[in-house]
Structure 1
Amino acid sequence: MQEDQRVFDVAIVGGGIGGTMLGTVLARHGVRVLLLEGSGHPRFAIGESTVPETTFGLRVLARRYDVPELEHLATNAALRRHVSSNSGVKRNFSFIYHREGEPTRPDECTQYPTWGPPLGPDSHYFRQDVDAYMFHVAVSYGVTAYTHTMVDDVKFEEDGATLVTRDRGTFRGLVRGRRRRHAGGPARAPRAATGTALPHEVAHDLHAHGGRAPLRRRGAFA
């Protein structure tokens, strides 16, 4: 692999829903993204289920960042049509405190309603299929992705960071201002001054609307 093929603006460790969603949005807008997943796809994973905020937020992300595939996760009908028929309908979101040998106390129960059509219904994700779907979406938008790749170390330096993998060597991420400029304009690396490697608005939107991608401190890695 040539040296410039190992240099990225953002590196994401973890190829689940959050990591692939983040990588897709960034790659869609010209950021050079590396995604490393320790296992493969499809894989076993537990959770997730959506709530009305997630259902609406995924639509917002899809339209704001022009990634229509994210909207396929927003409703159960779209999920079953485009992603996986194995995902179920979510009817409620309940918490009940149990006391041994006693009936349930109404003041120790919480039941949140979920949306029905046309905005819903909410879904129980079959993560094996949903994660694999989003991984392939990320690759289709230009994310450089590797499965079965373990990360042993991340070394932060003044001009960026070096990510050391067990079997694929090292990858570099350079912070804004240190990366070579491209013919089409200034460096595309996201700024690191805010404490993450992401443009502030992308990080905020993913956190607010249900994309729980892992955000790391400093440098060019998220």
Structure 2
Amino acid sequence: MNPSVPDCDVAIIGAGPAGAAAAARLSQLGQRVHVIERSHFPRFSIGESLLPQSMAYLDAAGLLETVQAAGYQPKNGAAFTHRARTTTIDFRDKTTPGWGTTYQVERADFDQRLIHAAESYGATLEFGTTVSAFDADPERPTLQLDDEHGGTRRLSARFVLDASGYGRVLARLESLERDPRAEPRMAIFSHVADGIDEAAFDREKILIGVHPEDSGIWFWLIPFAEGRASVGVVGDIAALTAQGDTPEARWRALLDQEPRFRHLLRNAKRLREVGEIRGYAASVTRLHGPGYALLGNAGEFLDPVFSSGITIALHSAHLAAPLVDRQLRGGEVDWEDEFETPLRSGVETFRAFVEAWYAGTLQTIVFHEAPPPHFKRWISAVLAGYAWDHENPFVTASRRRLAALAEVCGHRDEVRS
């Protein structure tokens, strides 16, 4: 071993979608990539409903054919239900050019396919290993790795990308965490054999339900292929925990309270233990530092309501990978202007939509009988993942435009009552 030569060019913490996309892209660009993952694949994860914008990022990373060959459930939009009101948003009917369809995926299979595709491009994978320490350095950042057998070693790189998701490794080790500016909520979820026998049910759309008495509580039903589905509920921690003594008791009690979900899932059989995630929102003071950058959930996570997590993760990898390659080849990179600022612009668009959902203004728009058609197409574009399209006024002035449109649609807190 030559101590003057780093162990790899790029070390990537985490083998989820952001890590896999960055690893695939950088390996194709000729960089020596080493991916460190603390778990073993396949492993369960939520965040199972993709957005159409993510398809372009998968394509750019050389991962699109892998996804298309997997036989996942196609997705073309979202359906919403509240009391007797139902409505749909078709992602193909949008203002922004680009993909209008995508997939709904079981993440255990999806993530494994992506990371092994990255391996086929030349990335080295290491599972069952935890990053326990980090030395930031603009030229030779170093990680301390602890394997599951008790071994510890140092790994040097020329650049480090943190794609550790909810583990948020560098955010913790570099003291980057900050208040996420979001109410503490929780998600309760499981997979089912859904048994849905309603011919009119559209499996190509995620179904989002609003609690009939408390619109701060909402439900998801994500149909998968072969009659399976992901079913979950999100809301205020105190409100949800009051529904029962165990995650399963809470999950069942809440699903029984939403008429559409109760009807659709009357024949459902649970396939896995009910899980919970509490206080999932996260934010950081910065997304880059000397010799490193944070991707996806390792930096910012908002809320699952519009399935933005994987799109943000893939967008961050799409931005970061060519910048890392350029820097390692001796070029100049302004990580603030070329990575952090553009990435955060789309995150803030999604944040405005999430906040408008919980405030009731976006629910007013969604459930309005006849919102102005062009406005609906602008909103459809954002919900399809095109949160970086600055030709869209609901991207450039999200909060103001949403508030104005809600007023046009007669928002008087009627959805929240």
Name the TM-score, length of structure 2 as normaliser.
0.35
Counterpart position of 1:42: 42
**Matched AA of 2:137:** E
Q: Contact 1:31–1:188 at 8 Å: present in 2 too?
A: no
Counterpart position of 1:53: 53
CA–CA separation in structure 2 for the residues paired with 1:163 and 1:141:
23
Q: Contact 1:34–1:144 at 8 Å: present in 2 too?
A: yes
Counterpart position of 2:140: 160
Residue 168 of structure 2 is aligned to residue 174 of structure 1 = no
CA–CA separation in structure 2 for the residues paired with 1:190 and 1:44:
39
In the TM superposition, what whole-angstrom CA distance separates every residue of 1:147-177 from its partner, at most 9, and x where no partner exists? 11111011113533111111351111236xx
CA–CA separation in structure 1 for the residues paired with 2:154 and 2:73:
41
Counterpart position of 1:145: 125
Structure 2 unmatched runs, 5+:
94-98, 160-326, 347-383, 386-417
Distance 1:187 1:15, change over 3 A: closer
CA–CA separation in structure 2 for the residues paired with 1:164 and 1:191:
28
Instruction: Please state how far the C-alpha of 1:3 moved relative to its aligned partner.
Output: 5.2
Counterpart position of 1:70: 64
CA–CA separation in structure 2 for the residues paired with 1:144 and 1:190:
25
Instruction: Please state how far the C-alpha of 1:6 moved relative to its aligned partner.
Output: 5.4
- SS of residue matched to 1:159: coil
Q: Contact 1:115–1:122 at 8 Å: present in 2 too?
A: no
Instruction: Please state how far the C-alpha of 1:193 moved relative to its aligned partner.
Output: 4.8
CA RMSD, 1 decimal: 3.8
Residue 103 of structure 2 is aligned to residue 123 of structure 1 = yes
Distance 1:56 1:27, change over 3 A: closer
Instruction: Please state how far the C-alpha of 1:34 moved relative to its aligned partner.
Output: 1.6
Name the TM-score, length of structure 1 as normaliser.
0.61
**Matched AA of 1:162:** T
Counterpart position of 2:268: none
Structure 1 unmatched runs, 5+:
74-78, 176-185, 211-222
CA–CA separation in structure 2 for the residues paired with 1:172 and 1:11:
8
Give the 4+ runs in structure 1 shifted more than 4 A: 1-6, 189-193, 207-210
CA–CA separation in structure 2 for the residues paired with 1:161 and 1:26:
18
CA–CA separation in structure 2 for the residues paired with 1:127 and 1:155:
32
Counterpart position of 2:32: 32
Instruction: Please state how far the C-alpha of 1:36 moved relative to its aligned partner.
Output: 0.6
Identity of aligned residues (%): 28
Task: Give 1 or 2: higher helix fraction.
Answer: 2
Counterpart position of 2:188: none
- SS of residue matched to 2:112: helix
The count of corresponding residues between Structure 1 and Structure 2 is 171
Instruction: Please state how far the C-alpha of 1:9 moved relative to its aligned partner.
Output: 2.2
CA–CA separation in structure 2 for the residues paired with 1:43 and 1:190:
38
CA–CA separation in structure 1 for the residues paired with 2:116 and 2:52:
26
